Structure 1
Amino acid sequence: MTRWLLRMMTELSSRKFISRMTGRFAKSSFSRRLIPRFAAIYNIPVEEAEKAIGEYRSLNDFFTRRLKPGRRPVDAAADSLTSPVDALITGCGVIEDGMMLQIKGQDYTVEELLNGSPRIAQYRRGYFWVLYLSPTDYHRIHSPCDGDIVESEHIAGKVYPVNEFGLTSMRRVLSRNERLVSYIRHEQGEVAVVKVGAMNVSSIRYVEPKPRRLRRGDELAYFEFGSTIVLLSEDGTLNPRPDLKLGSRVSMGERLGTLVPKS
């Protein structure tokens, strides 16, 4: 009964206008006074931030902060596919005939995640990661490889939470929430960076000017509050790191696997 009630409350509160209201407050000067308390509650390492905590104009300004140079070294190997974000791995594995299996007990299809894109045929037997960003994490999103953005898509949707409760108690939130998808063509093939919105995420934004050619580690976008990245690699183009598993933490720029020529 309690789980059903929480699910119903989440359904009712997952409307875009609520996230917009939260976003307006977070961008207002009134929210500035909450920054020290927010940083303390979530144990955010403020010493990593590009600016002193008192220099941020709003809670959103702090939340979307850049880091000091060198705080996230990017794996230098030319064949490396790296994490686009600081995150907890909440799903990973081989895509089995277009299915991503057992993400918090639920199965997803690449077709529904990518909204029926013609590109889904390239990802039917690739590899996937689900990378969850908590409020503690750094929220800028970086390119996982060298390459060109060959297509971008905005997929309208809900804003359900993508935390433990949302992923386990709600029905397939990763493919029902609002998403921005970037398809990046690299020397060995292609990756899809799926940026998933969430409750109280006022928006997902590309950096300006919007990039077309990327080097590994370049800024791509950012979340205004916490959410999730689903990263897909094209069939036969990646050897994943064998030591990474569910519950592992990764930092932006850390190697997730090795890109290989498509056989």
Structure 2
Amino acid sequence: MTSTGVTRIDSWRAWGSRHPRGLPTRPRLQFPQLALRRRLGQLSCMSRPALRLRSWPLSFLYYLLPFGVLKPLAKAGWRPTSRVALYKSIPTRLLSRAWGRLNQVELPTWLRKPIYSLYIWTFGVNMKEAAVEDLHHYRNLSEFFRRKLKPQARPVCDSHCVISPADGKILHFGRVRNCEVEQVKGVTYSLETFLGPQTWAESLASSRKVAEPSSFQDMLVTKEGNELFHCVVYLAPGDYHCFHSPTDWRVAHRRHFPGSLMSVNPGVARWIKELFCHNERVVLCGEWTHGFFSLTAVGATNVGSIRIYFDKELHTNSPRYSKGSYNDFSYVSNGNQEGVCMRKGEHLGEFNLGSTIVLLFEAPRDFTFSLKPGQKIRFGEALGTM
């Protein structure tokens, strides 16, 4: 018997294996891996531009479809274009500006309720908390996204020094170690890259440390016996889009980083290292009763507009920017030595469609977070205590 015949018999034996109860099992479809390998082998002989052009559609499907759908392709030896490189090639800034223009289009009265109701159903929005529950009141999507809450909907915790600045999900929290901060579990980013050079020191009147600072992290801790802490709050599209002051503090400096507008969804944050450092963000630095305090609003896809209420000079998602650049602005002036004083719970700013807020602050070593990773939190609830 030929080798082909043996192969066929072995295949039929495998297909005809019997169920424990004696019933024959259905033959499983075998993927033609050999033919696929030969076909994909032809791609490797092409020039790099042609190869990229031919493999891009499959890579795009690999990005959109569930992981298991194209698993046979991976078994056959095909490797897609890097997901990160593919995702970064999408013009998210342009799409975000187009989305912003679309948000400003006034909707006909008869169309408002169906569109808003679909959004409410998709993202689980609780309109009973909104200051205005009537959907016809919101002329466009932008007004609906920036809806205000009823005053009693978010009571501010008075017994704790730091509260959540927004509704959202806790991605990560804890002490900052080795100048690295976690955006999600196991994925970190550089503290210095995220905040930029520490040139705002002249805007702060912090007491000097006794010991000479040995790292960027040590430069931020201004009082002996303190440590640096961080907390990351992710705002989903269905969450309340405004953010508030997390404590009583004074804002002395603003640093704006133009950048990408990739999604900050936790699923994306797991496979893009230093995602928060790539994206456009606004860093507010200042002081609270225990020393250094900062709040960073990170932009995301369709969230090119980051608004700080007391800062009329801030303009985000500009059509052109230099990669790696940043713009500084000091709120401390000859006529205003204190900067901008914020009270706990006071309105601070807003996003257009959910994003991320990163808190970095120094506190005594006995400061402890009262949080769990992945938990839902609402504006006004306590983050930790001492």
| TM-score normalised by length of structure 2 | 0.62
Once the two structures are superposed, the pairs formed by residues 205-220 of structure 1 within 5 Å of their partners are: 205-208=307-310, 212-220=340-348
Indicate if the aligned counterparts of 1:127 and 1:232 stay in contact, CA closer than 8 A.
yes
Among 243, 263, 266, the alignment partner of 1:164 is 266
Does the 8 A contact of 2:247 with 2:343 survive in 1? Answer: yes
Mapping for residues 1-263 of structure 1, pairs under 5 Å: 2-3=62-63, 6-30=83-107, 33=112, 34-51=115-132, 52-77=134-159, 80-101=161-182, 103-118=184-199, 120=216, 121-122=219-220, 125-208=227-310, 212-234=340-362, 236=364, 239-241=367-369, 243-258=370-385
Following superposition, the deviation at residue 226 of structure 1 comes to 1.3
Q: 1:144 to 1:237 in 2, by over 3 A?
A: farther
Deviation, 1:97, is 2.7
Q: Distance in 2 between matches of 1:236 and 1:76?
A: 19
1:53 and 1:208 map into 2 onto residues whose CA distance is 29
Higher RCO (CA 8 Å, separation ≥ 6 residues): 1
Q: Secondary structure of 1:76's match? A: coil
Give the whole-Å Cα distance in 1 for the aligned partners of 2:230 and 2:123.
28
Whether the 8 Å CA contact 1:147–1:187 is kept in 2: the answer is yes
Point out the structure with the larger strand share: 1
Cα gap change, 1:199 to 1:180, in 2 (>3 Å)? same
Output the CA distance in 2 between the equivalents of 1:111 and 1:10: 25
SS at match of 1:183: strand
1:38, 1:101 → 2: CA distance? 31
8 Å CA contact 2:227–2:365 kept in 1: the answer is no
Coordinate RMSD, CA, aligned: 2.3
AA at the equivalent of 2:102:
F
CA positional deviation for 1:26: 1.2
The answer to which of 66-75 and 167-176 deviates more is 167-176
SS in 1 for 2:125: coil
User: Per-residue CA shift, 1:195-224, capped at 9, x if unaligned?
Assistant: 000011131101257692211000111011
User: Which region of structure 1 is more displaced relative to structure 2, 213-222 or 47-56?
Assistant: 47-56
| Distance (Å, rounded) in 2 between the aligned partners of 1:74 and 1:60 | 26
Relative to structure 1, is the Cα distance of residues 9 and 61 closer, same or farther in structure 2, using a 3 angstrom cutoff? farther
For 2:128 and 2:240, the matched residues in 1 are separated by: 12
* Alpha-carbon distance between aligned partners in 2 of 1:83 and 1:107, rounded to the nearest angstrom: 22
Q: Distance in 2 between matches of 1:238 and 1:135?
A: 35
Q: Is the 2:103–2:142 contact (alpha carbons within 8 Å) kept by the matching residues of 1? A: yes
194 and 49 in structure 1: CA distance in 2 versus 1, 3 angstrom threshold: same
Hey, what's the Cα distance between the residues in 2 that align with 1:49 and 1:237?
Answer: 39
The alignment partner of 1:22 has SS state of: helix
Counterpart residue type for residue 62 of structure 1? F
Query: Could you give the per-residue CA deviations for residues 27-54 of structure 1, whole angstroms, max 9, x where no partner exists?
Result: 2113973222111211100111111222
**Structure 1 runs, 4 residues or longer, greater than 6 Å off:** none
CA offset digits 1:133-171 (Å, max 9, x no partner): 101111101001112111111111110110023201223
* Alignment gaps of 5+ in structure 2: 1-58, 64-79, 202-215, 313-338
Between the two proteins, the alignment pairs up a number of residues equal to 257
Identity fraction in percent? 31
Q: Which runs of 5+ in 1 are unaligned?
A: none
Query: 2 CA distance for matches of 1:101 and 1:165?
Result: 14
* Contact 1:93–1:100 (8 Å) recurs in 2: no
**Take 2:191 and 2:277, find their aligned partners in 1: how far apart are those partners?**
9
TM-score w.r.t. the length of structure 1 is 0.89
